[in-house]
Amino acid sequence: MAEPLTIVSVSLNAAGFIKKYWKQVLICLFIISIIPALIITAVINILFPQVSKEEFNIYKNLTAKTGINWYSFMAYDTVRLDNYLKENNPDESVFDLLRVRFKEYEIIETEKQITKIVDGKKVTETITQKEYKVIRELEIHGYGPIKNLLLSLNYFSAEENMSVKEVTDFFTILDKKEEYEIETSILTDVDITEDFDDNHKQWYFALSEILPLIDPTAEFDPDEYIIPELSSNPSIPSIWPTQGIITSEFGENRIAHIHEGIDIANIISTPIYATADGTVIAVGSSGNFGKRIMIYHGTDESGTTYVTIYAHLSQFKVNVGDKITQGALVALMGNTGYSTGPHLHYEIRLNSMPINPRYFLQ
């Protein structure tokens, strides 16, 4: 055991050190205190890489007026890159969704004399016959093959000209020429996922339903969101999310829309519970929904994706990326957003479509 005088001496030395270097000590303590938060943030960013609002806009702009669904394109890139879009080049990968069927002909003209009777007299005419000989036939998709074809056709393939719309417009004009036969088309979901394994196919179809929901410009308008990994063993929302009085049913006519959930009224700070196991994929704090949470519960073998939404909250009890279990406390009831009193607006989405929650509630 240390001598009392030694303990006092050490304590006095420590106190003197802290008094002398108190600013540096505070900085060290602050850094130590935020390390756990930084670790958690890093883990979430590794497991669920964040996609900015600007990146959503990039995908939308690249597919504008092309016939390509931006969310199919974004789901394709996410899945093929295993949810790591940081090194992706969507300006090029968008061409993976464009198919070009191309034929080029050599036109061989030969003159032939024919004789016919006109007003009882023989008349000889010279006509030109054309033979169309295929000299090149391609069916391609992808940036590299399409760009090589364009270069062979003397297309000016500067960056500003290499958009799907510019390229398809060029092919449309060229198709009107006699020596070309060109057809462009957008790949179907089946074509897009042809080279994916079953797990990645299922993930692609799940994201095609989830991405429009977490779109920063959509109705939910999240402040924070993640693109989730596939959960292929869905948990079905089957319990009541809170206690209270039903004040509005699913499908009721509103002034500007049809009510897409049910409203459950109670006092502020009434607990709100997750109705199934899942992952918190989005939260928001402004707009008509007020404070709100979106949870992804998984996708079954038939491709049905389950999502729940909890709105008009007063306080969050979970963060984006949290994995939660059925019955877990996720929020407290509030009166935020466009609301006439404290209540929970609760929605169930199947493949992004609102479904009456009463079909699932026990």
Starting at the edge strand found earlier in the chain, the sheet holding 98-118 runs 121-141, 98-118, 180-186
Residue 169: phi and psi, rounded to 5, are -65, -40
Q: Which two tokens stand for residue 151?
A: 């270069």
Per-residue pLDDT band for 5 (boundaries 50, 70, 90) equals: very low
Mean pLDDT in the chain?
87
Q: Please check whether residue 282 is in contact with residue 302, taking contact to mean a CB–CB distance below 8 angstroms.
A: no
Give the pLDDT of residue 44.
44
> To 10 degrees, what angle do helices 70-80 and 53-63 make?
120
Q: How far apart are CA 171 and CA 81, in angstroms?
A: 30
DSSP letters spanning 30-42: HHHHHHHHHHHHH
Q: How far apart are CA 75 and CA 241, in angstroms?
A: 30
Give the pLDDT of residue 218.
83
CA distances from 82 to 39, 49, 78, 111, 192 (A): 22, 10, 6, 61, 15
CB neighbour burial string for 140-171, b if at least 16 within 10 angstroms, e if fewer: ebbbeebbebbeeeebebeeeebbbeebbebb
Q: How far apart are CA 259 and CA 250, in angstroms?
A: 6
Q: Please check whether residue 242 is in contact with residue 344, taking contact to mean a CB–CB distance below 8 angstroms.
A: yes
SS3 label, residue 202 = helix
Which residues are paired to 345 by β-bridges? 263, 311
Give the pLDDT of residue 119.
78
Give the pLDDT of residue 251.
83
Residue 38: phi and psi, rounded to 5, are -65, -40
Q: How far apart are CA 132 and CA 161, in angstroms?
A: 31
Give the pLDDT of residue 172.
96
CA 239, distance to chain mean position in Å, is 28
Give the pLDDT of residue 117.
81
Give the pLDDT of residue 220.
84
Q: How far apart are CA 157 and CA 310, in angstroms?
A: 48
Q: Please check whether residue 232 is in contact with residue 202, taking contact to mean a CB–CB distance below 8 angstroms.
A: yes
Q: Please check whether residue 106 is in contact with residue 56, taking contact to mean a CB–CB distance below 8 angstroms.
A: no
Give the pLDDT of residue 148.
96
DSSP letters spanning 139-154: EEESHHHHHHHHHHTT
Q: How far apart are CA 228 and CA 225, in angstroms?
A: 9
* Residue 191, H or E segment: helix 189-192
Domain ranges of the chain: 96-102+140-189, 202-359
CB neighbour burial string for 5-36, b if at least 16 within 10 angstroms, e if fewer: eeeeeeeeeeeeeeeeeeeeeeeeeeeeeeee
Q: Decide: residue 245, CB within 10 A, 0-12 exposed, 13-18 middle, 19+ buried.
A: exposed
Percentage above 90 pLDDT, the chain: 65
Which residues are within 8 A (CB) of 104 and not within 5 positions of it... i.e. 6 or more apart?
134, 135, 136, 137, 179, 180
What fold does the segment set 202-359 form as a domain?
Glucose Permease (Domain IIA) (2.70.70)
- The answer on pLDDT for 279 being more than 90 is yes
DSSP conformational letter for 299: E
Give the pLDDT of residue 318.
96
- The answer on pLDDT for 24 being more than 80 is no
The pTM (predicted TM-score) of the whole model is: 0.79
What are 104-136's pLDDT values in tens digits?
A: 999 988 888 788 787 778 778 888 888 889 999
Q: How far apart are CA 303 and CA 25, in angstroms?
A: 55
pLDDT: which is higher, 25 or 252: 252
> To 10 degrees, what angle do helices 143-152 and 164-175 make?
40
Give the pLDDT of residue 41.
44
